[in-house]
């Protein structure tokens, strides 16, 4: 049995924040902080904060802008966080709403109807509640049959979700699977932290996974090799969770936001990912010159350039290793799916591609795809 990705979808939020807008707000905060704490700073009891710049952000990450679900209060120096009101229980949740929007695009691309779907997997970095599962809410909103569940694997959630979908098809527990990645990441950002306030954006992607024999879409991507890998590390972490309120001394700590030790991540993750891709290429007899496209996790342009050069043995072109993080920023698990969604129309039958994620956990996953 051959399993394919037969359609993808993308929901882009209504608001975009440029580096200049973000930096302007951040630097206002820095000036206020340093002024209010000038005596402590002068006495050496407190370190002064340093401002940022758009040039620094672009050089460090390749990011120029990001999309968000709520903009105004992120840029309000008195708040510096998104404002997202909790909805009534009888109203579709925000995460389900954007997931449905991406799913409808994927269904159209795959020539499928909601009733064709018998498994819905929501795979992302965070879900906005513990239960009922967002996947089951989306299943109900679309009118799909079968079953659904949520899974969290941080930046590798989408690829891990696709592997779970493929295995469900191979086992006979599902025929056509909808994998959705509703990544609302702006609430996890500490917009007062110079090193991380610019990293993430909001988005939702979706993929249809099915048996090749039932696929009728114009572009199908057969999964010819797949391998996930995990290795525990504290170097990327977020301690937000339902037990936070159990410790009143730490419940509002900065560790509840996204935190990372970037240099350690760079040093440790890149060899792991490069070796994972290389092993999967060997598995299917794929030489570097046979790789038509590298759809890599969109976290940092320097990481992507390193991995692509390692895999191909040379500097990649923007066509070979497309970058979307300049416009979307880091969208966790959705990044590599956005790259696939936006950069596949020129592919022809037989072209080989790498779809690879990597991130917190550490977690990584490589799929070798063939256009069919």
DSSP string, 176-230: EEEEEEEE--GGG--TT-TTTTTSB--EEEEEEEEEGGG--SS--EEEEEEEEEE
Measured torsion, CA atoms of residues 289, 294, 346, 201, in degrees rounded to the nearest 10: -170
The stretch 23-33 carries a mean pLDDT of: 98
Task: Tell me what percent of the residues of the chain surpass a pLDDT of 70.
Answer: 100
| Cα–Cα dist 124/158, whole Å | 7
Residue from 25, 155, 356, 365 carrying the catalytic annotation: 155
Give yes or no for residue 346 having a pLDDT over 90: yes
Q: What does DSSP say about strands 352-359 and 363-371: parallel, antiparallel, or unpaired?
A: antiparallel
Residue bearing tokens 């795959």? 110
Count Cβ atoms below 10 Å from residue 323 Cβ, excluding itself: 19
Three-state secondary structure call for residue 17: strand
Which residue from 244, 29, 6, 259 is spatially nearest to 108, judged by alpha carbons?
A: 6
Q: How far is CA 161 from the centre of its chain?
A: 12
pLDDT tens by residue, 78-132: 999 999 999 999 999 999 999 999 999 999 999 999 999 999 999 999 999 999 9
Task: Tell me what percent of the residues of the chain surpass a pLDDT of 90.
Answer: 98
pLDDT at 96: 98
Geometric angle at alpha carbon 367, from 363 and 372, rounded to 5° = 160
pLDDT at 27: 98
- Report the predicted TM-score, pTM, of the whole model to 2 decimal places: 0.96
Give yes or no for residue 1 having a pLDDT over 90: no
Give yes or no for residue 182 having a pLDDT over 90: yes
Q: Quote the tokens at residue 322.
A: 């497309």
Which residue from 320, 318, 335 is spatially nearest to 290, judged by alpha carbons?
A: 320
Active site residue 155: yes
**Architecture of the domain delimited by 221-371:** 3-Layer(aba) Sandwich (3.40)
- CB-CB contact of 236 with 359 (8 Å): yes
Enclosing H/E stretch for 366:
strand 363-371
pLDDT tens by residue, 129-156: 999 999 999 999 999 999 999 999 999 9
pLDDT at 21: 98
């Amino acid at each position: 049995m051959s399993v394919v990705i037969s359609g993808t979808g993308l929901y882009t939020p209504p608001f975009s924040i440029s580096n200049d807008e973000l930096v302007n707000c951040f630097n206002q905060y820095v000036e206020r902080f340093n002024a209010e704490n000038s005596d402590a700073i002068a006495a050496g009891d407190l370190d002064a904060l340093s401002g940022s710049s758009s040039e620094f952000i672009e050089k460090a990450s390749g990011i120029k802008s990001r999309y968000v679900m709520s903009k105004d209060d992120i840029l309000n120096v008195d708040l510096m966080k998104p404002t997202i009101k909790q909805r009534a229980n009888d109203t579709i949740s925000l995460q389900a709403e954007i997931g449905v929007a991406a799913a409808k695009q994927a269904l159209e691309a795959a020539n499928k109807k909601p009733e064709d779907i018998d498994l819905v997997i929501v795979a992302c970095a965070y879900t906005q509640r513990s239960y009922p599962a967002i996947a089951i809410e989306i299943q109900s909103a679309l009118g799909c049959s079968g079953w659904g569940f949520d899974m969290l694997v941080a930046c590798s959630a989408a690829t891990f979700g696709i592997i779970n979908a493929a295995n469900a098809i191979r086992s006979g527990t599902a025929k056509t699977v909808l994998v959705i990645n509703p990544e609302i990441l702006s609430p996890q950002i500490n917009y007062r932290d110079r090193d991380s306030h610019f990293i993430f954006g909001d988005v939702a992607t979706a993929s249809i996974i099915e048996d090749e024999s039932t696929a009728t879409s114009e572009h199908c991507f057969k999964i010819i090799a797949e391998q996930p890998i995990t290795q525990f590390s504290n170097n990327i972490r977020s301690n937000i969770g339902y037990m936070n309120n159990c410790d009143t001394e730490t419940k509002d700590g900065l560790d509840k936001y996204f935190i990372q030790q970037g240099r350690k991540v760079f040093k440790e993750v890149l060899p792991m990912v490069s070796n994972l891709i290389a092993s999967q290429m060997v598995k299917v007899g794929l030489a570097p010159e046979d790789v038509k496209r590298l759809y890599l996790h969109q976290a940092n342009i320097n990481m992507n350039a390193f991995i692509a050069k390692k895999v191909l043995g040379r500097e990649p072109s923007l066509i070979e290793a497309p970058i979307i993080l300049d416009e979307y920023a880091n969208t966790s698990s959705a990044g590599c799916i956005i790259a696939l969604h936006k950069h596949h129309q020129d592919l022809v039958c037989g072209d080989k591609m790498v779809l690879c994620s990597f991130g917190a956990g550490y977690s990584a996953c490589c799929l070798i795809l063939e256009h069919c």
